[in-house]
Amino acid sequence: MQTSSLKKFFKLYSKEMRELRPEILVVLIATLVLDLLFYIKARQFPAVIIGPSIMILGLAALLPFISSFKLLGREWNSNTIYLLLSLPVKGGNVLGSKLLALLTQYLFGTIIVTAGSIILAFLLFPEPGLVETLRQAQSAGIDTRLQTIISSGTLFYLMSLVGMAYVIAISFFSQLLGKLVTRFSGPITAIVFIATFWLMGKLMTPLWQQVGNYAQPHMNQSNFSIAAFNQLVGMNTLIMLAGTVIVFIAAVLVYNHKIEL
Amino acid sequence: MDFNASQPIYKQIIDDFKKKLIRGELKEGDKIPSQRDYAEQVRVNPNTVQRAYREMESMNMVETLRGQGTFISISADRLEEIKMEMAVNLVDYYISEMESLGYSQEDIFKILKQEQSFREGERR
Amino acid sequence: MIEFKDVSKKFGSTIALNDVSLVFPRGKIIGLFGPNGAGKSTSIKLIMGLNRPDRGEVRVDGENPQNKKQDMAYLPEIDHLYPWMNIAQAADFTRTFYADWDETKYRELIKFLNLQENMKIAKISKGQRAKTKLLLTVSRRAPYLLMDEPLSGIDILTREEIINTLIRDYREGEQTIIISTHEIAEVESLVDEVIFLDKGKVKLSGNAEDLRVERNMSLVELMKEAFRDAN
């Protein structure tokens, strides 16, 4: 029987996705319901489209963070941690599959909301339609602008993704440290979370400042460069990625060497 | 088969086969269950059954043929030996129990004779 | 072979194991007996690598238990399976992680134990859950099978099924089974070796048959005698 590491990882990942099914459904249903409501009511106030989109976007962004506590905490509550710890897999795979599932949840959530908004917009304003809008933009020469907007937008989204991974890594680390004590597990988790957040912030701030200083001359009113802006976002994302990796490795070390039942 | 847990089980397995031999339920050349089957039937650790079968082999009661199974392989003399051993053990046990209750040798044999006549009477 | 060398383990202020040295020989069925709090569960968790000793070391085939998890089939006392899975999903999950999964045995065993693949773990009875745990562990050809109270709270008929399963699938000499239980009477005819633990120390250990010859008593009686002095 083949038991490749990839298959094992994927099996863990599918299990985590199955646990997150209700949350993803919540976002899907909320989007459908709210968009439907607005479709019916918004003929009078078209600009109010933004309302439901932002609300559910916030939900889609917040839920993975909340779910990170469910995915790990529930293993202890339902005693399935006995199964998990007895499997021939190391913490990197266990925590990695959970992280990936939560990021997938974030991806799905944001895509659902965005798609919902776009569809809603074009349903409410069938004129001039998607293709026509693009063609108009192209002839007006805005397409290059559109491209850069899309690239900056994508970069921003990437940064938010890394930001989400960062917060989840800290969540895992604090929960695991909380599990090392028998009493006051909850308060310890909260304290470690805040402390780690603060500490990592302190470590990353000088780096951000460096990047900021470097980008400053390119970013004032007269000389705004999209490329420089993208570079700024890119560098900050990399810094946050490094921070995420550090905290994630710390969490894996705790899982592999300190967690006991 | 119910085992007396205060006695070694492998010996009780051997005794069980001895009794079957003495009663004639098992004869020379008969095939006995495989170790695995026997272990399942009587619900005993297969290691214990293995020990019993090996002992029976060294006691010249059975023989295992590769790929075919285990068969009763006992000479007439050996069977007589076993019959005698079993009988003597039972008598030994009886006499020790009686003595521990305080009966004298005389009493013991008197009671035996009485019991014998009583049983013959029953038969008629 | 599993070895404990001067192992001590504390949980808070409770001493679970106190300077314990013992050997679990390979290829035997070993009974781990003792009253509550004797250190049986802790010993099994140490072998599984779910705990680490405070002092001393535990070695499985000479290695750290953390590196031997693929050779262990673990049957804990608590319900540790994902409640939303059904038996088929639980089997599929197990199958993915262990190269020693035996699909033929699984198909055969699920019939023998009267279970169905679509049974949801959260919805079945305690006896069926016990049988499911057994199904998932015995469907593997694992060198080590660790069972922590496999019979407790189980009705008599199910117990018989469990013991019959163990006997018919046991690979003597190859497979090592460690059973920790209160129900010594149920496993009298099953165990080769016995270890009696009390308050974190080894009270008595040896070969079951040899002990019967020496002491002229059953394991149950031995246990009672061993612990009479304790009180």
pLDDT tens digits for range A143-202: 566 677 777 788 889 999 999 999 999 999 999 999 999 888 889 999 999 999 999 988
Highest mean pLDDT among A42-46, A122-126, A193-197: A193-197
- B59 CA: distance to closest CA in chain C (Å): 19
Position A222 pLDDT exceeds 60: no
A214 close to A239: Cβ distance less than 8 angstroms: no
Position A246 pLDDT exceeds 70: yes
C191 close to C219: Cβ distance less than 8 angstroms: yes
Position A11 pLDDT exceeds 60: yes
Q: What integer is the mean pLDDT of C211-219?
A: 91
How many CB pairs below 8 A link A and C? 61
Position A63 pLDDT exceeds 90: yes
- Residue pLDDT, tens place only, B74-113: 999 999 999 999 999 999 999 999 999 999 989 888 998 9
Closest in B5, B10, B46 to C218, CB measured? B5
Lowest mean pLDDT among A44-48, B54-58, C203-207: A44-48
pTM of the model: 0.88
**Arithmetic mean of pLDDT over chain A:** 85
CB contact under 8 A, B43 and C220: no
- How large a percentage of chain C has pLDDT more than 70? 99
Position A224 pLDDT exceeds 70: no
Lowest mean pLDDT among A26-40, B101-115, C100-114: A26-40
- Residue pLDDT, tens place only, C18-60: 999 999 999 999 999 998 888 999 999 999 999 999 999 999 9
HEC secondary structure over chain B = CCCCCCCCHHHHHHHHHHHHHHHCCCCCCCEECCHHHHHHHHCCCHHHHHHHHHHHHHCCCEEEECCCEEEECCCHHHHHHHHHHHHHHHHHHHHHHHHHHCCCHHHHHHHHHHHHHHHHHHHC
Chains B, A in contact, 3 or more Cβ pairs below 8 Å = no
Q: Specify the pLDDT at position A191.
A: 94
Position A221 pLDDT exceeds 60: no
pLDDT-based confidence at residue B48 (cuts at 50, 70, 90): very high
Position C230 pLDDT exceeds 60: no
- How large a percentage of chain A has pLDDT more than 90? 50
CB contacts, 8 Å: B53 with chain C: none
Q: What integer is the mean pLDDT of C3-22?
A: 93
Q: Specify the pLDDT at position A145.
A: 67
CA angle C77, C79, C81 (to 5 degrees): 130
Q: Can you tell me the ipTM of this complex?
A: 0.94
Position A3 pLDDT exceeds 80: no
Closest in A7, A78, A260 to C83, CB measured? A78
